[in-house]
Structure 1
Amino acid sequence: MNSYLVSSTKKSSGKTTLTIGLTGLAANLNQNVAVFKKGPDYIDPLWLTQASKTFCYNLDFFTMSEAEILKLFKEKTFNANLALTEGNKGLFDGLSVSGKDSNAQLAKLLNLSVILIIDCIGTTRGIAPLLQGYKIFDKKIKYHGVVLNNIAGDRHENKAINAIKEYTDFDVIGSIHKNKELTIIERHLGLEPAFQNNKSKKIITKITKIIKNSVDIKKILRPDPKKKLKNSISKIYINTKKFSGITLGVALDNAFGFYYPDDIEKIRNYGVSVKFFNTLLDKKLPNVDALFIGGGFPETVASKISKNKSLMNDIHAFIDDGRPVYAECGGLMYLCKNINYQKSNYPMVGIIDAKINMFAKPIGRGYVVLNCTNNHLWPISKKNINAHEFHYSDIKFAKKKYKFAYNVKRGHGINGKSDGLLYKNLIATYSHMRDTRQSLWIKNFLTFIFNQRNNE
């Protein structure tokens, strides 16, 4: 199997664009492609999912052990002849100065060949010592080739390529020239999820065409003669029907779509029936035992959500009746009284006595560390829990006082000290959980649902 990590020297260098184009081309050629994203991000994987026509899975050292990363990678590449992983930031960047959580470490762990995309604005000959430095810094990294990005013209391209040929043994496998339309697209890729962009298919088609004309595809998408496709997909995660009979409602629409696909798969593998509902269109909740309202950008479609009063009343009554509900970030915002966005106030579900204010810059951004309080409804772990947050909103409470499920050891959460607002059988957080060994939230949540249903 051909397995690649698309990386660079820094962020905003064209990694997502290149990976979207490559996965789109692989899908068009009917290759069995497995797609991954390093880190906890939701937005890039949603674009890669749409481009590849298969789920993109996150590989994250902060929330997963190396063994879990290997396990997930092996499971999802079992029937693939091509694996593409998009890195984050630069090849050697990470939280640890030792590089133990870097893109380079991921490449070594999973035996990935690195495709390095370089932002060439303002440089020609200088690219050669940059590449040589990367090769010397960690000699265990296998480089498949270099793709030059933001090339000003043929003269710029020739100078860069000649310098690379003269001073390095890197193979130049592509050259992407400056393109105003592509620049505009790239600015929005990391900010807007595919489910909120009604032109996402056209954008992916445009990117795929540019990459096809700019990269030597045969050097990347060539079939591996040693790879024999299996007849069935390996089931590494335990498939049990322990919670068979439970029905979980999951919000999925233009407002909410931030879910890890392997978490949803795990919920189903426990025997749970998942029913998706649309907060913009559905007038009533489906017949379910509990709700999971994930993250997203409800503020951008707040005018539409606020008009669906019937569903919001249904959700309000569902929570007030003591039914189990778990909400993350956008879900938390949706459950408050209103969202103040672009000088307008939009009424929301109102079960949480607070209002949401939107800001131009993030209030909470990056990895968080939490630990459970004694108030937690389905305690996840007695140890620290690693998760992440990314929100431009802040919450302002009215008169009602709430207890919380988590103490915040790192990050912001709801107020810099606490996260996981509690009301009856609702937990609403700004933090996004990943179901891994250090935070087994799914099994505990389902156990809570099971017990609540049986006690009715």
Structure 2
Amino acid sequence: MSVSCPAAFVAAPASGQGKTTITAAIARYHRNQGRRVRVFKTGPDFLDPMILEQASGQPVDALHLWMVGEAACRAMLYEAAQTSDLILVEGSMGLFDGDPSGADLAQAFGLPILAILDASGMGQTFGALVHGLSTYRPGLSFAGVIANRVGSPGHARMLEDCTPDAIRFFGAVQRNETLSVPDRHLGLVQAGEIADLDARLEAAAAAIEEAGVTGLPEPVTFHPEAIAPITATLSGVRVAIARDAAFAFMYPANLRLLEKMGAELRFFSPLAGDGLPEADAVWLPGGYPELYLDQLAANTALKSDLEAHHAAGRPILAECGGFLYLLDELADREGHTAAMAGLVPGKAQLADRLQGLGLQAAPLPEGELRGHTFHHTRSEVGLEPYDHCWRARGTGSQGEAIYRDGRLSATYLHAWFPSNPEATAQLFRP
């Protein structure tokens, strides 16, 4: 049985237009009105969803036609629509960027586009950009446009006057740098590290209200999708998961899948000095180990625990930051080096430029897992790769290396576990 819910796909012509801030502001505003708001983020992303979760008070899942799959995306949207008063899907990069793009996702599920345009330093050209975005692909529904970083009320009136008549002008948000969220080399700073994040979100919600961006988009009809049931193939398996500021990049859907398969999740903090809890398998997700070199190096008990766990032939999955932590050494951009766990021979250093980016799939012995890579470190590993990931865009160049040593699997790839539940179960099953 289909269900309807007001929904919009929040998009922009490029990165840096303020999509996350505006999406979070709209979510917090409607939450403050007593509405239940569900927010999704397009494509692979860990940092924006942390902000959006705090704004909406609800978990934020990824939607992506290749990594997540169309059927799974449809199922998540349908489930959200059953209990929500508003659904927002924040896009990634520009509306038509990527293959598949945000526009592909919006069109697949009938989500109208709510465009965010940074209007600073812009006059009537604003109307031309809105016209282009709204007409570039026939059949793509448009909810309207929000002008962001507007200089004055007069500037706002100019922008509204030049907006095409067929496009709803939702409002103009005044320029206010205090509303923005600080960032670093991998994107936004993690939500837990921003002491005044709630105050920023409340201020952003107030700015949305002042701009008059308070109306709900039109309802969208969402349809059910039959998804294969998850079996308890990890029943009773204890999975130890590193989780703190150094290891925070994990999809909520990955955690839910492990729990649905019967796994008992045991979280621990390497930064807090925790040792490894009693566990049958270990997951070291990505994050920012390069920012906490000395703290990680000082936790010698955890290093010994991981060495014993590995020697006993128990599974370890290390992704990106987790992979870096298993190397012999890790260095920051200035060359400060610290000893890591030493289970994978090699070293890595933070570089000035991005070293890996894109959607990839890992051909593991357990089965193929889809995911993405995004890192600023260069690594030298004294271990022959088991294989390399393949790129979704088929550029012909090799993807990230996959290292295997017994039951230890290490790679820069961040895997989307639901892309292959059985392969995931085999990775963690003792």
* TM-score, normalised with respect to structure 2: 0.89
Closer, same or farther: CA 333–202 of 1 in aligned 2, 3 Å: farther
Q: Is the 8 A contact 2:358 2:391 kept in 1?
A: no
Query: Could you list the per-position Cα deviations for residues 209-261 of structure 1 after superposition, in whole angstroms to 9, with x for gaps in the alignment?
Result: 333333421x1289x7x99xxxxxx9966253332111111111111111111
Aligned partner of residue 413 in structure 2, secondary structure = coil
Q: Is the 8 A contact 1:365 1:388 kept in 2?
A: yes
Aligned partner of residue 256 in structure 1, secondary structure = coil
Aligned partner of residue 275 in structure 2, secondary structure = coil
1:220 aligns with 2:216: yes
Per-residue deviation at 1:387? Answer: 2.6
Q: Which residue of structure 2 lines up, in the alignment, with residue 11 of structure 1?
A: 15
For residues 183 and 301 of structure 2, the distance between their equivalents in structure 1, rounded to whole angstroms, comes to: 38
Q: Which residue of structure 1 lines up, in the alignment, with residue 238 of structure 2?
A: 247
Q: Which residue of structure 2 lines up, in the alignment, with residue 444 of structure 1?
A: 423
Letter in 2 for 1:70: R
Q: Which moved more, 1:35-44 or 1:208-217?
A: 208-217
Per-residue deviation at 1:131? Answer: 2.1
Aligned partner of residue 35 in structure 1, secondary structure = strand
Aligned partner of residue 77 in structure 1, secondary structure = helix
For residues 147 and 203 of structure 1, the distance between their equivalents in structure 2, rounded to whole angstroms, comes to: 19
Closer, same or farther: CA 208–304 of 1 in aligned 2, 3 Å: farther
Closer, same or farther: CA 305–67 of 1 in aligned 2, 3 Å: same
Per-residue deviation at 1:146? Answer: 1.3
Q: Which structure's relative contact order is higher, taking Cα pairs within 8 Å and 6+ residues apart? A: 2
Query: Could you list the per-position Cα deviations for residues 267-325 of structure 1 after superposition, in whole angstroms to 9, with x for gaps in the alignment?
Result: 11111111111111143211111011111111112222222222222122212222101
For residues 321 and 200 of structure 2, the distance between their equivalents in structure 1, rounded to whole angstroms, comes to: 25
Closer, same or farther: CA 156–364 of 1 in aligned 2, 3 Å: same
1:274 aligns with 2:265: yes
Closer, same or farther: CA 331–368 of 1 in aligned 2, 3 Å: same
Q: Which moved more, 1:206-215 or 1:330-339?
A: 206-215
Q: Which residue of structure 1 lines up, in the alignment, with residue 336 of structure 2?
A: 344
Q: Which residue of structure 1 lines up, in the alignment, with residue 371 of structure 2?
A: 387
Q: Which moved more, 1:306-315 or 1:258-267?
A: 306-315
* TM-score, normalised with respect to structure 1: 0.84
Aligned partner of residue 67 in structure 2, secondary structure = coil
Q: Which residue of structure 1 lines up, in the alignment, with residue 60 of structure 2?
A: 56
Count of aligned residue pairs for this structure pair: 420
Letter in 2 for 1:443: E
Per-residue deviation at 1:175? Answer: 0.8
Q: Is the 8 A contact 1:295 1:328 kept in 2?
A: yes
Per-residue deviation at 1:119? Answer: 1.4
Per-residue deviation at 1:449? Answer: 4.2
The runs of 5 or more residues in structure 1 that have no matched partner are 96-100, 228-233
Closer, same or farther: CA 79–251 of 1 in aligned 2, 3 Å: same
Q: Is the 8 A contact 1:38 1:103 kept in 2?
A: yes
Q: Which residue of structure 2 lines up, in the alignment, with residue 434 of structure 1?
A: 416
Q: Which moved more, 1:32-41 or 1:118-127?
A: 118-127
Per-residue deviation at 1:21? Answer: 0.8
Closer, same or farther: CA 189–47 of 1 in aligned 2, 3 Å: farther
For residues 394 and 307 of structure 1, the distance between their equivalents in structure 2, rounded to whole angstroms, comes to: 23
For residues 187 and 243 of structure 1, the distance between their equivalents in structure 2, rounded to whole angstroms, comes to: 37
The percent of aligned pairs where both chains have the same amino acid is 26
Q: Which residue of structure 2 lines up, in the alignment, with residue 312 of structure 1?
A: 303
Q: Is the 8 A contact 2:43 2:63 kept in 1?
A: yes
Closer, same or farther: CA 204–175 of 1 in aligned 2, 3 Å: same
Q: Is the 8 A contact 1:196 1:255 kept in 2?
A: no
Q: Which residue of structure 1 lines up, in the alignment, with residue 253 of structure 2?
A: 262
Aligned partner of residue 204 in structure 1, secondary structure = helix
Q: Which residue of structure 1 lines up, in the alignment, with residue 405 of structure 2?
A: 423
Aligned partner of residue 66 in structure 2, secondary structure = coil
For residues 424 and 200 of structure 2, the distance between their equivalents in structure 1, rounded to whole angstroms, comes to: 38
1:193 aligns with 2:185: no
Aligned partner of residue 248 in structure 2, secondary structure = strand
1:107 aligns with 2:89: no
Q: Which residue of structure 2 lines up, in the alignment, with residue 169 of structure 1?
A: 166
1:396 aligns with 2:380: yes
Query: Could you list the per-position Cα deviations for residues 362-401 of structure 1 after superposition, in whole angstroms to 9, with x for gaps in the alignment?
Result: 11112234434xxx4xx213xxx6431001111123xx43
Per-residue deviation at 1:435? Answer: 2.8
For residues 29 and 236 of structure 1, the distance between their equivalents in structure 2, rounded to whole angstroms, comes to: 34
Closer, same or farther: CA 186–389 of 1 in aligned 2, 3 Å: closer
Per-residue deviation at 1:15? Answer: 0.7
Closer, same or farther: CA 418–365 of 1 in aligned 2, 3 Å: closer
For residues 140 and 217 of structure 2, the distance between their equivalents in structure 1, rounded to whole angstroms, comes to: 20
For residues 448 and 112 of structure 1, the distance between their equivalents in structure 2, rounded to whole angstroms, comes to: 36
Alignment of 1:356-371 (within 5 A): 356-371=348-363
C-alpha RMSD of the superposition = 2.8
Q: Which residue of structure 1 lines up, in the alignment, with residue 290 of structure 2?
A: 299
Aligned partner of residue 45 in structure 1, secondary structure = helix
